[in-house]
Structure 1
């Protein structure tokens, strides 16, 4: 079964993050940077999948690299991005020129942004190379709280889809941490890897299950009720894992992308958990997301200056039904 791939070129821009819109079924955003994010400026792209390919809806330039992006969960036109200059920018697809607002409290690169999904809550969390995470209201006027505890760069901050005021963070210090925003404390610190952790994500169907991806080339699934060892350790990548994502449609299916140029799909409930390895990039794969509206559709982006949309054969073959 051949996999159809639609690609969009991002000339002289190296992709760091992609996220599909929670409102518009075939829309996605990509945060990209010049010169692999080491120097130069950044570009934020809003793209639509069409019958024949991928078209650009809007793009904005920023004076420093852009490393992550998240859509608003309350307004289909609004996005937040994290920059190399320590800033968060709030963008509106109806505003062609400048961000709605810019907040610059972090003292180093903002590598992670996420928008809360729990009902009645509307918050943004950011994670930075300055070792702190900050929680914001969507106006970004001033951070509501700053959370300290990590002893290394924070690469990933992800809200719990289940528990209000709770997010997880992954760091270069090798720990996965779970935070309670209301009390401004770390509730749990998991020594998840003996190497830097570049990404984490929550299971959409179980509030106790998270996944981590590390420089040690392993993907680990954790149950917060017993953190002595992972529920599953998924091996196969040959270089650092840059991003991990749980499927929104299947409880035990997840995806990982890596500096080994591949995207891998896993079902950790199986004896042979690796479902498929997709090799369609020629550089580090940094951004990865599942489409919330189109079952099993995946988007990714790479330092090879492309964004790709596809449905991997291992998921489209009907072997994975919706979550129990």
Structure 2
């Protein structure tokens, strides 16, 4: 599958299986091509423990590099932007955990301030910042500096659970959040306040992402099965509306290599690839799962590598 702007080819997949776990999030390392981390939970995150799985992919296949267990389900994971060995996960007990993949021990630090499940965590990519944002079912987002043992700020305004918090790759101190209150919100950490509130769907919004080539463009994916694009300069109506999924859109990601390409995964068991600049935007539908598809990421190193093409089977 090419997401670099060329023709779409049939994907070649490699599989990794881990019994008893359900994958909730996956992210490629920004440092090492072929290395990725997955946050997983037992019993679909409803009960049981969680596991952080660190994988290595090469020509011989996908191999387990290291795994770490937590006493509650893990729902999201983000790599450090200043240390290739560090990861942060978020969990169902309201906590964030910092892990060192070079050390086969428990977490280096645990932050627990949220009062309900933490469904999203993201590490800022803008130069000069070392900030983390988390989003929780307690309807708040929190700002963290991993060097400080407590949150720096709490953002309130959402009227339902927060499913996704994503930093802008362009604007320092700016992040977006998607919520069950059917809104997409953009926040400024310098003012501790919301900049934009977009009533983006008439359904819960499960995922959002920033375009890597346009600081004003975001995409949302929702329970109404649609993906919508939003230009922050005019939010009265979406700039694109992508239809094709038959169940809720669980995660959506813009391509790191092409301004108009993106990928989505859904509870309809499919992964879909889109080019919203085309009259017929759906490029490919990949049907290789037999259960809800929640995990999706695009490699920052290889235009043709998508984590769902390295099939992660949690059975």
Report the TM-score when normalising by structure 2: 0.95
Deviation string for 1:134-193 (max 9, x for gaps)?
A: 000013510000000000100000000000000000000000000000100000000000
Q: Deviation of residue 287 (structure 1)?
A: 1.1
| Aligned with residue 35 of structure 2, among 23, 27, 49 | 27
Whether 1:305 and 2:311 are equivalent positions in the alignment is no
| SS at structure 2 position matched to 1:143 | coil
Q: Deviation of residue 303 (structure 1)?
A: 8.8
- Counterpart of 2:231 in structure 1 is 223
Q: Deviation of residue 74 (structure 1)?
A: 0.5
Whether 1:210 and 2:218 are equivalent positions in the alignment is yes
- Counterpart of 2:92 in structure 1 is 84
- Counterpart of 1:318 in structure 2 is none
| Aligned with residue 234 of structure 1, among 228, 238, 242 | 242
Are the counterparts in 1 of residues 14 and 311 from structure 2 also a CA contact under 8 Å? no
**Which sections of structure 1, spanning at least 5 residues, go unmatched?**
307-324
Cα distance in 2, alignment partners of residues 169 and 296 from structure 1: 28
Whether 1:257 and 2:235 are equivalent positions in the alignment is no
Are the counterparts in 1 of residues 17 and 312 from structure 2 also a CA contact under 8 Å? no
Q: Deviation of residue 4 (structure 1)?
A: 1.2
| SS at structure 2 position matched to 1:36 | helix
Deviation string for 1:228-260 (max 9, x for gaps)?
A: 110000000000000000000000000010000
Are the counterparts in 2 of residues 101 and 139 from structure 1 also a CA contact under 8 Å? no
Cα distance in 2, alignment partners of residues 96 and 210 from structure 1: 38
Counterparts of residues 35-74 of structure 1 (less than 5 Å) = 35-74=43-82
Whether 1:165 and 2:201 are equivalent positions in the alignment is no
- Counterpart of 1:188 in structure 2 is 196
| SS at structure 1 position matched to 2:200 | coil
Q: Deviation of residue 10 (structure 1)?
A: 1.5
Are the counterparts in 1 of residues 134 and 143 from structure 2 also a CA contact under 8 Å? yes
Cα distance in 1, alignment partners of residues 84 and 210 from structure 2: 23
Counterparts of residues 82-231 of structure 1 (less than 5 Å) = 82-139=90-147, 141-231=149-239
User: Segments of 4+ in structure 1 off by > 3 A?
Assistant: 301-304
| SS at structure 1 position matched to 2:147 | coil
**Which sections of structure 2, spanning at least 5 residues, go unmatched?**
1-8
Q: Deviation of residue 129 (structure 1)?
A: 0.2
Cα distance in 2, alignment partners of residues 140 and 239 from structure 1: 40
Counterparts of residues 279-298 of structure 1 (less than 5 Å) = 279-298=287-306
Q: Deviation of residue 2 (structure 1)?
A: 4.2
Report the TM-score when normalising by structure 1: 0.93
Cα distance in 1, alignment partners of residues 305 and 103 from structure 2: 29
Cα distance in 1, alignment partners of residues 222 and 168 from structure 2: 20
| SS at structure 2 position matched to 1:217 | coil
Superposed CA RMSD in Å reads: 1.2
| SS at structure 2 position matched to 1:174 | coil
Q: Deviation of residue 3 (structure 1)?
A: 2.4
Q: Deviation of residue 302 (structure 1)?
A: 8.2
Are the counterparts in 1 of residues 165 and 176 from structure 2 also a CA contact under 8 Å? yes
| SS at structure 1 position matched to 2:153 | strand
